Structure 1
């Protein structure tokens, strides 16, 4: 397949690029600073672009089968980033008539799983308060996805780690894995690549966790 990855220099984005190339896909990595991209290989195209301009992004997505985005806030001071950078991506996809899009969101944006233990509910409440601005931004971003013409999927991981890819994790379409506290960035990337061809995940939020 022909893939485009936004946020390709981030932890999840680089993993999508790396795993996509390893699987034999053609991958276009959209970056602001090519020097920060540590992945290389046959089938890789590096596309430098201003993320604020949909027209500048259009060549990066035209003719692609699937587009992935790992764009978002890296800290509380960056709250608002996810929506701000995702909207131009949506406009570029719509202009290029490319439909499949998978983005990274976060577990607290999804529904509370049934029967969640008291400790997990307490932790969720504390994190939700501390990172309220970030989760509000992600909720707004998901609303923009829902209004778009794309076949979107919002992948909602809990706390991210730098652990290895295991390929062993839980996913819940339209829900959140019970007591799912962590997952590696590599496994989030693995899950996103697997979901790309799964029609059950289209226009859905998908919780993913160990």
Structure 2
């Protein structure tokens, strides 16, 4: 496939690029600063673009089979970035007629899993309160996706870890795994790439966790 990766220098973005190349895909990595792109490969194009400018982004998504986005706030100070930049991406995709879009969101944005115990519910409540602005941003992003004409999927992980790819995790379409507390960024990227060809995930949130 021909894929475009947004946020390609972030933790999940770099994994998306690495794994997509390893799977034999042609990858366009959209970055603000090419010097920060540590991944190389024969099938990799590094495309410098301002992600606030839909016109500048259009050449990076034109003719692609899918766009996968690792864009998102790294903390409270970045709240607002996911919705703002995803709107730009949606405008570029719709202008170029590209339908498939897979993004990363977060577990508190989706429904609470049935059967979670008191501790998990309490911890989710605390985290949601502390990172309220971050999750508000991600909810706005998902609302924009739902209003769009794209075939979108929002992958919703819990707390992220910097650990190696395992390819072994639980996945719930339209929900979230019970007692799912952690997952590696590498496995989030894996789940996002696996979702591209999975029709069950189209216009759905997908919870992933160990």
Using the size of structure 2 for normalisation, the TM-score is: 0.99
- Consecutive unaligned residues of structure 2, counting only runs of 5 or more, are none
2:81 alignment counterpart = 81
Partner of 1:5 in structure 2? 5
Q: RMSD between aligned alpha carbons?
A: 0.5
- Please report how far the alpha carbon of residue 62 of structure 1 lies from its aligned counterpart in structure 2 after TM superposition: 0.4
Taking the TM superposition and a 5 Å limit, the aligned residue runs for 1:110-121 are 110-121=110-121
Deviation, 1:42, is 1.2
Q: Give 1:45-56 correspondences, 5 Å limit.
A: 45-56=45-56
1:50 Cα deviation after fit: 0.7
Gaps of 5+ in 1: none
Q: Distance in 2 between matches of 1:78 and 1:67?
A: 22
Residue of structure 1 equivalent to 2:193: 193
TM-superposed CA distance for 1:75, in Å, is 1.1
Note the C-alpha offset of 1:72.
1.1
1:115 Cα deviation (Å)?
A: 1.1
After TM superposition, give the deviation of residue 77 of structure 1 in Å.
Answer: 0.8
* CA deviation string 1:24-44 (max 9, x = no partner): 100000000111110001100
Mapped to 2, the partners of 1:173 and 1:84 lie a distance apart of: 25
Report the Cα distance in structure 1 between the residues aligned to 2:185 and 2:66, rounded to whole angstroms: 19
SS of corresponding position for 2:168:
coil
Once superposed, which parts of structure 1, at least 4 consecutive aligned residues long, lie more than 4 Å away?
none
In 2, Cα distance between equivalents of 1:102 and 1:129: 26
Task: Give secondary structure in 2 for the equivalent of 1:168.
Answer: coil
The offset of 1:131, in angstroms, is 0.2
TM-score of the superposed pair, with normalisation by structure 1: 0.99
